[in-house]
Amino acid sequence: MTPTPFTLRVPDEAIADLRDRLRLTRFPDQAPGEPWAFGTDVAWMRDFVDYWRDGFDWRAQEARLNAFPQYKVALDGVDLHFLHVPGKGAPGRPALPLLLSHGWPGSVFEFMDLIPRLTDPASFGGDPADAFTVVAPSLPGFGLSFAPGQKRFGAEEIAERFVQLMTEVLGYDRFAAQGGDWGSFITSRIGHTNAANVVGVHLNLLPLKRDLAAVASPTPDERRYLDELSVFMKEETGYQWIQGTRPQTLAFGLTDSPAGLAAWIVEKFRAWSDCGGDVLSVFSRDHLLANIGLYWFTGAIGSSFWPYYARMHGPWPIPDGGTVDVPTGYCQFPTEILRPPRSMAARVFTDIQRWSVMERGGHFAAMEQPDALAAEIRAFFKPLRGQGSDG
């Protein structure tokens, strides 16, 4: 299992085809009521599609990704794509290996601003002794880790492949791990099943089982969370049900229509971020379209739904009664989709060593608040250094 260097180069013909499809977009009518009340706003999308067709430079975003060392390696039926960025540590202090896992509807493009702050902290006012060597894979079935006809992967299987990547392929017997969204499930699963391989896990989403009856006599903080969970399950999980029950059907529309794909994805960036309703106040059009474009050009949207299907038709990735006993750090961003209290988290994560409540940011913390997230990751792992493997 020897990795081969990889450089992304989308064919010119694919870019031309995308522009043709954008030019022929057939927009729906706007539902009555406030903009965004029933999903992605039509007027907003018209402007967004115009920019994607006439103003967006895919090649510039492609070059941004290609500035990082990238590789592919064959693992269990998938050519797994990953970034492997060496850390610039202090003399005599090797960089700690860090597995960085993204989620849905994200990609490795989420980490473009975060990675340099982890691999080269001195360039951002930090201590070079806190440097990481970052390994950031595209989840199997996502983006550049997708090919038509390949097998599908749930969070448990992805966790297994990532441990294999870190240990067998790259030679890191012990490493740090961090994730949000599906990345938090994968990271927590690794902490649960492969405690000997991780020095600690850091999360910006807590993947607790979503059970409204989890606490018989909740405290006020637990009641606040359960009320939030009730609203979330009623109003915000429609995408999970269709992606988790009829992923193939949805894939037809989103694989054929770039505007449909963008509307499906950008609504989540608006709803889940700390943007106050103005998604472009937090994310640039270019940053949004780099991520959306990767889904489009790879044709990976359908296979990216599979973790939802696997979760709905199987057990929770951390089984009932199971725990994550490795050192755990967590940062709670104020507009994260769910914010469980520490009392509930501690039933699953038995060694919480850092719990930080952040001032700003939401679900896409690596894009929204890269400085704050990087500082939290560095601070959590600082006392755990010296326990990792330098490969």
- Active-site residue set: 181, 308, 363
Give CA separation, 67 vs 8, 116, 214, 224, 326, in Å.
10, 11, 46, 44, 34
Q: Which two tokens stand for residue 272?
A: 């889940």
Length of the chain, in residues: 391
The C-alpha torsion from 282 through 285 and 291 to 295, rounded to 10°, is: 140
- DSSP line for 249-286: HHHHHHHH-HHHHHHHHHHHHHHHSSSTT-GGGTS-HH
Q: How far apart are CA 368 and CA 391, in angstroms?
A: 31
Torsion of CA 358, 364, 370, 373, to 10 degrees: 40
At 97, is the secondary structure helix, strand, or coil? Answer: strand
| 302-64-198-104 Cα dihedral, nearest 10 degrees | -20
Number of H helices, E strands in the chain: 16, 9
Distance in angstroms (rounded) separating the CA atoms of residues 211 and 6? 42
